[in-house]
Each structure stands twice: as structure tokens, then as C-alpha cells.
Structure 1
Amino acid sequence: MSRQASQGTAPELAVRRLLHASGHRYRLHRPVPGLPRRTIDIAFPGLKIAVFLDGCFWHGCPQHATHPKANADWWRHKLNRNMARDLETTERLATDGWTVLRFWEHEAPSDVAERVAATVADAKRSRTS
């Protein structure tokens, strides 16, 4: 498991490249306020927008999640904790006024980048209104 990338995965890099190419500036791996050892994959701190790109296996994608047969109970517990932690993180950020966007690794990077860009544009419009 130590070889599994937790930051800078291929889907994350693709989305970041698209956002940067379209003129968006963001922060990477920002700490989640009040929750130690948790970070936001792509953050727009001034607008309070948090973007997470979740791996299908590790975060329980309803379409692609698999369940290992070896040591099944341990894995079920581990993956359930991951999903509970994701929910807690989302709730904490939302309570603090953040817009939380979660995407699966299998989603097309162009679609993800478009949705993020639209959310950023909406937030900027709301701020100036």
C-alpha cells in the first residue's frame, strides 16, 4: 500500500493541468481546518471551494469499487472508515462555509475541470453581487 499514490495521481494531474491552462489558480493539498492529517486535493481558499478526486477502490465508488477476498473483514472495515472520514470531512467543510466538490477518478478530467471552473465562476459572481 505504501506504493499507492495519495497525491498527484494521474486523474488529479490531468484536472490540474486543465484548470491551470484555463487560467485558474489554486492551492494544492491544503489542510482541512480542524481535522488533522486531512487535506483538500485542490483548493480555492479565497472562494472556499474544495475539490476532491477520490479513487474508486479507496473511497467506495458505487460503480467500480471492488472488495478483496483475502482478509475481507479487515478490508471492509478499512474502506468503510475511509468513506466515513470522507463524509466527516465534507460535513466539516460545509459547516465552515466551503463548497465541496467530489469527483471519482473514472470521471473524464475535462468534465471535472468544467464543473470546477463553473463553480469558481459562480462563486466569483456571487462575491461581486
Structure 2
Amino acid sequence: MSKQGSRDTAPEIAVRRLLYAAGLRYRVNVPVPGMPRRTIDIVFPKAKIAIFLDGCFWHGCPQHATQPKANAEWWRTKLDKNMTRDRETTAHLEAEGWIVLRFWEHESPENVALSVVRARHAAAGDAPPNA
């Protein structure tokens, strides 16, 4: 598992390229304030918007998650902890006044970027450009 990439995944890069092309500037892999060892994939710090692009297997996608057959109990516990951690992180950030957007890796980068652009402009109080 240590070889499993957790940052700069293909879905993240695709979404980031679209956001950059839309004129938005952001930070990547930012630590969650007050929660050690947790990071936000894409962040708009001033607007307090946190975007997570969750992998289907690791975060329990209802459409695509699979259950390993080998060592099934250990994996079930591991994946359940991941989902619990995701809920805790979201709740913590929302309690701190952040807007939290979570997307699955299988979602279209174009649709994800459009949702992010809309949320970013709504947080800034202006209308998004025609996208």
C-alpha cells in the first residue's frame, strides 16, 4: 500500500488543469487545519473551499467499490475506517466554516470542474463565467 499514489492522481490533474484553464488559482495537498496527517486535494483558502477527489476503492464508492476476498475482514475494517475518517474530516471542516466538495474519481473531470467553478464564484458572490 505504501506504493499506492495518494496525490497527483490522474483525476486530480485533469480537474486541476480545467480549473486553471478557467482562470482559478488554488493550492494542492494542503493539511487539514487542526487534523494531523490529513490533506485536502484542492483548496481555495480565502474562500474556504475544500475539494476532495476520492478513489472508488479506497473511499467506498457505492457504485464501484469492491470487497477483496483475501483477508476480507482486515480490508473491511481498513475501508470502513477510511470512510469514517472522510466523514470526520468533512464534519470538522464544515464546523470551521469551510465548504466541502467531495467527488468520486469516476466522475467526469469537466463536470467536477464546472461544479467547483460554480461553488468558487458563489463563495465570492459573483456570477461564474459562461462555462
Give the TM-score category using the shorter length: over 0.9
Displacement after TM superposition at 1:3 (Å)? 2.0
Q: After the TM superposition, which parts of structure 1 deviate over 6 Å for at least 4 consecutive aligned residues?
A: none
SS in 1 for 2:36: coil
Q: Which residue of 1 aligns with 2:38?
A: 38
CA distance in 2, matches of 1:39, 1:61: 19
2:49 aligned partner, one-letter code: I
CA distance in 2, matches of 1:114, 1:8: 20
CA distance in 1, matches of 2:7, 2:28: 9
**Unpaired runs of 5+ in structure 2?**
127-131
Q: CA RMSD in A?
A: 0.8
Q: Which residue of 2 aligns with 1:109?
A: 109
**Unpaired runs of 5+ in structure 1?**
none
Between the two proteins, the alignment pairs up a number of residues equal to 126
Q: Which residue of 1 aligns with 2:19?
A: 19
Q: Which residue of 1 aligns with 2:62?
A: 62
**Partner deviation per Cα, 1:41-93 (whole Å, 9 max, x = no partner):** 00000000000000000000000000000000000000000000000000000
1:118 aligned partner, one-letter code: R
TM value normalised by structure 2:
0.95
CA distance in 1, matches of 2:9, 2:36: 22
Q: Which residue of 2 aligns with 1:76?
A: 76
**Partner deviation per Cα, 1:75-125 (whole Å, 9 max, x = no partner):** 000000000000000000000000000000000000000000000000001
CA distance in 2, matches of 1:3, 1:110: 28
CA distance in 2, matches of 1:118, 1:22: 11
Question: Is 1:98 matched with 2:98?
Answer: yes
Q: Sequence identity, in percent?
A: 66
CA distance in 2, matches of 1:121, 1:33: 23
CA distance in 1, matches of 2:67, 2:24: 37
TM value normalised by structure 1:
0.96
